[in-house]
Amino acid sequence: MGHGAPLHDGHHIRLIEGGQAYFDALVAALDQASSQVHLETYIFDFHGAAARVAEALERAALRGLRVWVVVDGVGTPRLPPEWQERFLLAGVAWRVYSPLGTLGLLIPSRWRRLHRKLCVIDGQLAFCGGINILDDWYDPHYGTLAQPRLDFAVSARGVLVQQMQETMAQLWWRIQGVHHAKQQQFPEALSSFRVAGVHLSWQQEADLALEAKVVAKAGLLLRDNVLNRGQIERAYLKAIGASRHEIVIANAYFLPGRRVRQALIHAAKRGVRVRLLLQGRYEYFMQYHAARPVYGALLAAGIEIHEYAASFLHAKVAVIDPDHDRPWATVGSSNLDPLSLLLAREANVMVADKAFAQQLHQRLILAIEQQSTPVGMQSFTKSPWHLRLRDRVAFALMRLALFLTGNRY
């Protein structure tokens, strides 16, 4: 694929659907861990099933493992006092990425968030996806849900595990450096920044896969504000450009820039069937309404849009040509919207494997056919004027926000 994200053979990749299955896999792996655990998440909530992950991290630290946890300052501004104390007593080291401070999000530079959901265990096993440490049946804003949110992750063994651990360790040491500098501990700060700039590597032990996984060609896609500013968007553009038969994209927050929109429209015009599974339930004003003004051009090009109706859609996945000779799929934390593609730290796993692509495709088609509502051009153009006004206001606010950050999209 190029663009700094080469695909390597021999990965063991397993698709995981939903928080329940993800927590089961994560807790089992944490309880078998023998040396170190690195975990990053946007939201770390302690309600319901999510507490199982916190308890497993606590158990790992009490066994003497090195356990590092990084949470985002917007998604998780603070841990509950009980868990702060429990992590402290167990020896779980945790840091908050970019705490908001007094002015909060009024400062545009603070819109650059840590949105990755990653975990690496013993330098051997990795998890990557869109699933926060948040109970599937619970939402911090809406309470108990009638159905679990739709989301995906993967577990992986192979070369990308070391790449993932390296990027997580570098971020950890940068956060440590900032922490020391604020405490005016300048020698310690300098030491941390120096470690963050070093190419770190870990010796991987023999693969001890305990369950059947797809042996696949795969790679890690990163988005940051230094070396990997456009890697995820370029990977999407290349895969869409190479498509010949079918594209299925599921995105919680979908507001693609001009290049991605044009690539999808061109694909549809050359006969590729393009289906989008998008958020059908109101969650946030900006993300919900700003997406709608781009529907018209996509529908006019013959692109099918389906809005997920069963619960909240949180997936950030795509499948291209799963039944043909160049299958492509991605699972991760990155939406096709400006917050993900221009501002946040994101991570996706890219997989070129027919069995994996077919498995993800099958699940997405099921959601489209049984749990979603199609958006027709007629219903879209005849929506009430006050909804169209909200759509235009949200779109304008998003454009303004991007202008304030100095980005064009």
Asked whether residue 181 falls in the same domain as residue 264, the answer is no
| 208 lies in some domain | no
Output 58 or 192, whichever has higher pLDDT: 58
The residue-averaged pLDDT of 246-259 equals: 94
The pair of structure tokens assigned to 331 is 């699972």
Output 239 or 385, whichever has higher pLDDT: 239
Asked whether residue 19 falls in the same domain as residue 148, the answer is yes
Output 284 or 138, whichever has higher pLDDT: 138
The pLDDT score that the predictor gives to residue 392 is: 77
pLDDT tens-place string over residues 294-351: 888 999 999 999 999 999 999 999 999 999 999 999 999 999 998 899 889 999 999 9
The residue-averaged pLDDT of 117-143 equals: 96
**Residues 204, 162 contacting (CB under 8 angstroms):** yes
| 180 lies in some domain | yes
Asked whether residue 132 falls in the same domain as residue 234, the answer is no
pLDDT tens-place string over residues 2-48: 344 789 999 999 999 999 999 999 999 999 999 999 999 999 999 99
Output 97 or 389, whichever has higher pLDDT: 97
Q: CATH number of the domain that 283 lies in?
A: 3.30.870.10
User: Is 179 known to be catalytic?
Assistant: no
Asked whether residue 181 falls in the same domain as residue 282, the answer is no
User: Is 122 known to be catalytic?
Assistant: yes
Return the biggest CA–CA distance within the chain.
65
**Residues 113, 224 contacting (CB under 8 angstroms):** no
Confidence of residue 171 (pLDDT cuts 50, 70, 90): very high
Alpha helices by DSSP H, listed for 137-282, are 159-182, 186-196, 231-242, 258-269
| 2 lies in some domain | no
Catalytic residue among 115, 213, 217, 361: 115
Asked whether residue 184 falls in the same domain as residue 317, the answer is no
> Would you give the end-to-end CA distance of the chain in angstroms?
23
Output 188 or 23, whichever has higher pLDDT: 23
pLDDT tens-place string over residues 391-405: 777 777 777 776 766
What DSSP element (H or E) covers 112?
A: none
The pLDDT score that the predictor gives to residue 182 is: 63
Instruction: Tell me the average pLDDT of the chain.
Output: 88
Asked whether residue 377 falls in the same domain as residue 289, the answer is yes
The pLDDT score that the predictor gives to residue 66 is: 96
**Residues 353, 321 contacting (CB under 8 angstroms):** no
Catalytic residue among 11, 38, 306, 316: 316
Name the domain boundary from 196, 230, 261: 196
| 409 lies in some domain | no
User: Is 316 known to be catalytic?
Assistant: yes
Asked whether residue 150 falls in the same domain as residue 229, the answer is no
Angle at 363 between CA 54 and CA 151, to 5 degrees: 30
- Which domain covers residue 304, as residue numbers? 222-404
Output 292 or 121, whichever has higher pLDDT: 121
Output 356 or 381, whichever has higher pLDDT: 356
The pLDDT score that the predictor gives to residue 386 is: 72
The pair of structure tokens assigned to 5 is 């994200």
User: Is 135 known to be catalytic?
Assistant: no
Query: Number of structural domains, the chain?
Result: 2
The pLDDT score that the predictor gives to residue 187 is: 61
pLDDT tens-place string over residues 58-116: 999 999 999 999 999 999 999 999 999 999 999 999 999 999 877 777 677 778 899 99
Catalytic residue among 11, 117, 306, 354: 117
The residue-averaged pLDDT of 241-254 equals: 97
| 391 lies in some domain | yes
Asked whether residue 172 falls in the same domain as residue 240, the answer is no
Catalytic residue among 45, 151, 321, 353: 321
The pLDDT score that the predictor gives to residue 219 is: 96
Asked whether residue 168 falls in the same domain as residue 237, the answer is no
Asked whether residue 79 falls in the same domain as residue 180, the answer is yes
| 217 lies in some domain | no
| 105 lies in some domain | yes
Asked whether residue 249 falls in the same domain as residue 398, the answer is yes
Catalytic residue among 38, 45, 72, 122: 122
pLDDT at residue 207 greater than cutoff 70: no
How far is residue 110 CA from its own chain's centroid?
19
Q: What is the pTM of this model?
A: 0.90
Lowest pLDDT segment from 149-153, 185-189, 219-223: 185-189
The strand pair at 316-320 and 125-129 is best described as unpaired
On the CB side of 278, CA atoms within 13 Å amount to 25
Asked whether residue 73 falls in the same domain as residue 147, the answer is yes
